[in-house]
Amino acid sequence: MFSEETVKKSKELKQEWETKVTRKYREIKPAQTLSGLPINPVYTPDDIAHIDFQEIGIPGAYPYTRGIYPLHYQYQPWMMQQIHGYGLPEDTRQRMDLLKKGGMEGYFGNLVYNLVLDHPSQCGIDCDDPRAHGLVGVCGMSFSSLRDMEILVEGLDLDKCNMSLITGDTCYYLLPAFIVAAEERGTPRDKLRGNSMNWPLKGFCMPNPVFPPRSGLKLMVQLIRFCTKEMPTWNTTNFISYLAREAGANPVQELAFIMQWAIATIQACVDAGLDVDAIAPRFGFQISLGMHFFEDIAKIRALRRMYSKILKDRFGATNPKAFYARMHVHTSGGAYTAQQPMNNIARGAILALAAAMAGTNSMNVCAYDEALGIPTEESHLLTLRTQQIVLHETDVTCVGDPLAGSYYLEDLTDKIEKAANELIDRMDEMGGFVEAVEKGWLQGLIAEESYRANEEIRKGERIHVGVNRYQVEEEPKPVFRVESDTEKKAVERLKKLKKERDREEVRKKLDQVRAIAREDGEDLIPAIIEATRTYCSQQEVMDILKEEYGWRHMKNC
């Protein structure tokens, strides 16, 4: 990448610098990244002389280190996808309309929504189940049936929306409900745009019960097969590493885990007879971005490079769009603090800037009060304004991958890629992602890393402003509260629905779902769609899937 003369001269200058520094300061304190990679006190061309320029390249060209499009923000800004959802569907719709009015946009000015469900709904439990008591509409929208979806989307022009449905294992009911609600309003399924999370393999980093990994892969393939055939503009799978990072994984581990998850999924699809060039263009990533500014930017650049190589070299893909690692960056909620929460405004701005400089395709910035509860209207709008300020009031969007060529960043990108590949090789040796999860190996690494990081904060070795340094006496901050009668209203609505629907038709459709699920038949998603039309509830369908595919806590979670 540099001439021999340049490399030689840079080494000489570095040696002179080290001599001066050592003479004046006696020693240079060593530093390292969150993942434990060494950081030099100064970088020169010799640090990256070994890197072939083709590994860096230009935006929009293989291996896509610098971005998947030739022109990125100069042509079209990232999608501003703020996560929202609380209370009843009508409550969530009010927040959706507020964010739309505030300027939340997708590509080319289209509407974009990022809907999250409450905890019972994400676990496939209806609001009238005793296990849901006290959790209905908290930290997400209450959702139990097609009726809830009908209320949510009433009046929306669904062929002009991009709807991300944030739920994991229950996406096999939520997407059918969205399809039916759209078709009732005249929008066919092949015109719908958005994203199913389709992440049943997330159990290795979550305490919730989930489908066992092998069953989870089967269900992932079911949804991918259906959408590839009938929903060409729907993104079928979202590989999420955000949850692993929030659970304690460092950036290198986060990257390795998500790559192995992608490998396992693509291999399962290929084994099921699906064409990698047809399925991969509809895959995406949800990545965490924390306060370790350069390491997280380098991680995202390494992710794009690694993924394109995996698709080309490991799976023989030839469709250029199959190589694209399209990603949504979710700024780290774990970086935020309940102490001095206004400090989180500064953290959010730094994280949004890093996400933009890394070249994300979509972004969510956590609200400053999320360490306390659901964002208020004010704090939620502030997250949009943060993104809009980065977009319109800085010049970071004028150049694709503006940090490219930085001696430090290119060296760090290279080191992160190599370290992540070493972890991938270790998982390959033990049989792959599923085996690593079943053996508890991934969970063990995350637990160890989480303990180490917490100990560093506890001992003051890692400064967390307001937590272990610069503490002050504080008055309790007001937090957003879900209306006290939310659960009562949700339960009454569901009970009324169950009385009014055709019970015999419900029974027939549920029997069909069970019969197909028992054989892992290819018509599972269509069968669930037909069951949804009869107002079968989410739990009625999910209980069948849990019984036929298994449902348990993952080892060591």
> How far apart are alpha carbons 532 and 528 in whole angstroms?
6
> How far apart are alpha carbons 516 and 98 in whole angstroms?
42
The token duo for 445 is 């690494």
pLDDT for residue 555: 53
Confidence of residue 557 (pLDDT cuts 50, 70, 90): very low
Region 61-70: mean pLDDT is: 96
> How far apart are alpha carbons 472 and 466 in whole angstroms?
7
Q: What percent of the chain has pLDDT over 70?
A: 99
DSSP characters for 243-267? HHHHHT--HHHHHHHHHHHHHHHHH
The answer to whether residue 553 scores a pLDDT higher than 90 is: no
Helices (H), 60-199: 89-101, 119-122, 146-153, 171-184
275 Cβ neighbours under 8 A, 6+ residues apart: none
Q: Residue 120, preceding bond cis, omega within 30 degrees? A: no
Q: What percent of the chain has pLDDT over 90?
A: 90
> How far apart are alpha carbons 354 and 64 in whole angstroms?
18
pLDDT for residue 196: 96
Q: What angle do CA 160, 166, 168 make, to 5 degrees?
A: 135
pLDDT for residue 554: 64
pTM, two decimals, is: 0.95
> How far apart are alpha carbons 467 and 340 in whole angstroms?
9
The answer to whether residue 510 scores a pLDDT higher than 50 is: yes
- What phi and psi, each to the nearest 5 degrees, are found at residue 92? -65, -40
The answer to whether residue 45 scores a pLDDT higher than 60 is: yes
> How far apart are alpha carbons 488 and 501 in whole angstroms?
20
> How far apart are alpha carbons 440 and 277 in whole angstroms?
32
Express each pLDDT in 3-20 by its tens digit: 999 999 999 999 999 888
Q: How far is CA 513 from CA 519, 527, 546, in A?
A: 10, 6, 12
End-to-end CA separation in angstroms for the chain: 46
Region 249-257: mean pLDDT is: 97
Express each pLDDT in 190-235 by its tens digit: 999 999 999 999 988 888 889 999 999 999 999 999 999 999 999 9
Confidence of residue 168 (pLDDT cuts 50, 70, 90): confident
Confidence of residue 263 (pLDDT cuts 50, 70, 90): very high
The answer to whether residue 268 scores a pLDDT higher than 60 is: yes
Region 513-537: mean pLDDT is: 97
Give the residue extent of every domain in the chain.
Answer: 53-66+76-458
Nearest Cα to Cα of residue 525 among 222, 238, 121, 196: 222
Domain 53-66+76-458 has CATH 3.90.79.10: no
The answer to whether residue 27 scores a pLDDT higher than 80 is: no
Average per-residue pLDDT for the chain: 95
Q: How do strand 234-235 and strand 237-240 relate by DSSP bridges? A: unpaired
pLDDT for residue 556: 44
